[in-house]
Structure 1
Amino acid sequence: MPVDLRVFSGRWIYDLRMSRRRVLVGALALLLAGCSSSSGDLPAGSDLVGRSAAAMRSVSSTHFTIKVDGELPDVTVKDAEGDLNAKGESKGRAKVEQFGQLLEVEYVLVGRDLYFKGPTGGFSKLPAALAGQVYDPTAILDPDKGVAKVLASAKDAKTVSAENGGHVVEATVPKDVVAGLVPGIGGDVKATFTLKDDKLADAVFELSGGAKVTMALTDLNKTFTVAPPT
């Protein structure tokens, strides 16, 4: 029987199209499955913040940066940067709002003394207790009210992404706990933590009034010395 090449060719093209379609559908299904499995493979947020809370309790020193966006009635510092250790010693600089003006200051906190230097003149010596009236950076490594306490008290922690060898976790932190780091908090805050090697790399606190506080920690456990200025 003679073969109708037109019928044969048409059938072959149809089968080829259907085969390609099945391959595309199969590939799409695998892609979607891969996406959903990757999100499911993210570690639990509660486990990450729990391990980080424990790890941060043993941190002996850090370099820190703090930036305040918006208005916080009980915080005059707009941004600060410096070094601090778990013994309560610290040195660095800060921008402080006073009488509507932003002033750059330097500080050294050692022993029971706070040395404070404004835009003009030299250092003035004050009792260390006065540091809390502006902002006390030593609270950051205080296990009872610092970042370790904040991480340990985080609620509804959810891992949202994995990036640059770490994880990003969103959570809610009770107001009385955040107040140890940021005075004058009026309610629970939304926090976003970036955690690397079980340590806190940075934290962003979003307050109900629209203000935002960003804190970054680097050079953990790096040795440095603090001495009274001469």
Structure 2
Amino acid sequence: MFRIRAATLPTMLAGLAMLAGLAACTDDKPAADQPAANLPAGDALLKESAAAMREIKTTKFLITADGAIAGLSLRRAEGVLTKEGSAEGTAQVEQAGQNVELTFVIVGDKIYLKGATGGYQELPLALAASVYDPSAILDPDRGIAQVLNTAVGARTEAAESVEGTDTYRVAATAAGADLKTIIPGVTGDVPGKLWIGSTDKRLHKAAFTLPAAGGATGTVTVTFTEFDAPATISAP
């Protein structure tokens, strides 16, 4: 039976910290040859997107991490998230050089974790609070909306399509103090690309560049889909 030792739990929870969360399934192709002069201002798009994301109640997400990013053990996570902080899905976490597959459910003040074998283990949400607060992802004051609201240096680069949705690609720098709520371990401001819907103004994709091993860089990509689709998450 799969068991989680107290000493290794924080590492696994660090992976779950990325459930927020979100891009291997995106398709970035130019939607139109639109002159830069006709693109909307980047800072205005970020403000509009922050307002739109504050209203989101549920979303599906996919997160992928490419590169040995410092302090991040997550390789991949996907699932469903609600504004109240409930979530369910799967995560792949690197632990002691091995990839560990986990299924997770978060409801209320409990986290339920299951490995490749055995059943779920129930743990208090407070145990993970110091590593990651899952309710923050769609929290209108602390989550992705806040990341959009405080990002600086926004510049609209192009009109592109993400999974069939017309978007504007905006380059901006996210404040580390806010982004760490979404990506644990972030210690400074982080450059990124943000794909904002041209009509709905929702954030459909984000890619952030972070330090990796050997002085290189890695990328954490977050994709949101199926906004506000019915979602019922209950304890296993």
User: Normalising TM by the smaller chain, what interval?
Assistant: 0.7 to 0.9
Query: Does residue 147 in structure 1 map to residue 106 in structure 2?
Result: no
- Equivalenced residues, count: 194
Tell me if structure 2 keeps the 8 A contact 1:77–1:134: no
Structure number with the higher helix fraction is: 1
Shift of 1:140: 1.7
* CA distance, structure 1, for counterparts of residue 97 and residue 86 of structure 2: 30
| Structure 1 residue identity aligned to 2:95 | Q
Q: What does 1:202-213 align with in structure 2 at a 5 Å threshold? A: 202-209=205-212, 210-213=217-220
Instruction: Report SS of the residue matched to 1:194.
Output: strand
Cα-to-partner distance string for 1:58-107 (whole Å, 9 max, x where unaligned): 10010011111123443322110010101111100000111111011101
| Structure 1 residue identity aligned to 2:89 | G
Q: How high is the sequence identity, in percent, across the aligned residues?
A: 41
| Structure 2 residue identity aligned to 1:199 | R
1:174 is matched with: 175
* CA distance, structure 1, for counterparts of residue 116 and residue 169 of structure 2: 38
Tell me if structure 2 keeps the 8 A contact 1:145–1:181: no
TM-score using structure 1 length: 0.79
Q: Which runs of 5+ in 1 are unaligned?
A: 1-34
Q: What does 1:24-35 align with in structure 2 at a 5 Å threshold? A: none
2:26 is matched with: none
Shift of 1:136: 4.7
Report the structure number with the largest CA radius of gyration: 1
* CA distance, structure 1, for counterparts of residue 89 and residue 129 of structure 2: 15
| Structure 1 residues 137 and 72: CA distance shift in structure 2, 3 A | farther
Instruction: Report SS of the residue matched to 1:56.
Output: helix
TM-score using structure 2 length: 0.77
1:61 is matched with: 58
Q: What does 1:179-198 align with in structure 2 at a 5 Å threshold? A: 179-196=180-197, 197-198=200-201
Tell me if structure 1 keeps the 8 A contact 2:40–2:156: yes
Tell me if structure 1 keeps the 8 A contact 2:208–2:221: yes
Tell me if structure 2 keeps the 8 A contact 1:65–1:81: yes
Query: Does residue 221 in structure 1 map to residue 208 in structure 2?
Result: no
| Structure 1 residues 134 and 73: CA distance shift in structure 2, 3 A | farther
Provide the alpha-carbon RMSD of the alignment. Answer: 1.7
The higher relative CO (CA closer than 8 Å, separation ≥ 6) is in 2
1:114 is matched with: 111
- Answer with 129-138 or 185-194: which moved more: 129-138
Instruction: Report SS of the residue matched to 1:163.
Output: strand
Cα-to-partner distance string for 1:150-179 (whole Å, 9 max, x where unaligned): 100110100000123210000011221211
Instruction: Report SS of the residue matched to 2:102.
Output: strand
Find 1:125's aligned residue among 108, 122, 127.
122
* CA distance, structure 2, for counterparts of residue 131 and residue 223 of structure 1: 27
Tell me if structure 2 keeps the 8 A contact 1:76–1:134: no
Shift of 1:211: 1.9
| Structure 1 residue identity aligned to 2:204 | A
- Answer with 67-76 or 39-48: which moved more: 67-76
Tell me if structure 1 keeps the 8 A contact 2:86–2:134: no
Instruction: Report SS of the residue matched to 1:141.
Output: coil
